[in-house]
């Protein structure tokens, strides 16, 4: 039997990172995934699902705190855990995703992901005329 979840989506906000009383570090992320279907009218209907993710561990949380931001594309791999709680006589059933993440692309203010921005920068440098050539060409 296996309890494995893999999600790829975008962060809805900057992750919340904190240290508990016992010194353990955790990060809470809000991840959006999209899918869709064709409605009865034949139009494509987009559906967004929000996932609450918890990542534990000093090094992982430090990395998330320094590098992750709203809109970043991440991959999550972990487990699905269920819990119950009661508040004001009402029972709540909670689902939580616990595991690790990988940063796939960072969002920028211009809306381009980091790999696309880096490629654009490389093309711009390649297309610039070279000025470091020696003026005395032997042929």
Q: Where are the alpha helices (DSSP H) in 1-139?
A: 58-67, 114-127
With cut-offs at 50, 70 and 90, classify the pLDDT of residue 111: very low
**pLDDT at residue 76 greater than cutoff 80:** yes
| Rg value, the chain, Cα | 22
pTM higher than 0.95 for the full model?
no
Integer Cα distance of 53 and 49 in angstroms: 13
pLDDT value, residue 16: 96
- How is residue 41 written in tokens? 């009218």
* 3-class SS of residue 82: strand
- Condensed to tens digits (0 to 9), the pLDDT of residues 119-136 reads 455 555 555 555 554 555
Integer Cα distance of 136 and 84 in angstroms: 79
Q: What percent of the chain shows pLDDT beyond 90?
A: 58
- How is residue 43 written in tokens? 């139009």
């Amino acid at each position: 039997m296996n309890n494995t979840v893999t999600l790829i989506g975008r962060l809805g906000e900057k992750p919340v990172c904190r240290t508990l009383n016992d010194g353990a570090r955790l990060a809470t992320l809000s991840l959006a995934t999209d899918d869709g279907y064709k409605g009865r009218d034949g139009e494509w209907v987009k559906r967004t699902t929000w996932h609450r993710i918890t990542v534990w561990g000093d090094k992982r949380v430090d990395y998330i705190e320094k590098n992750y931001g709203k809109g970043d594309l991440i991959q999550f791999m972990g487990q699905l855990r269920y819990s119950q709680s009661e508040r004001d006589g009402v029972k709540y059933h909670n689902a939580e995703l616990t595991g690790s993440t990988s940063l796939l692309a960072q969002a920028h203010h211009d809306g381009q992901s980091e790999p696309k921005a880096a490629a654009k920068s490389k093309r711009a440098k390649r297309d610039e005329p070279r000025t470091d050539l020696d003026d005395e060409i032997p042929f």
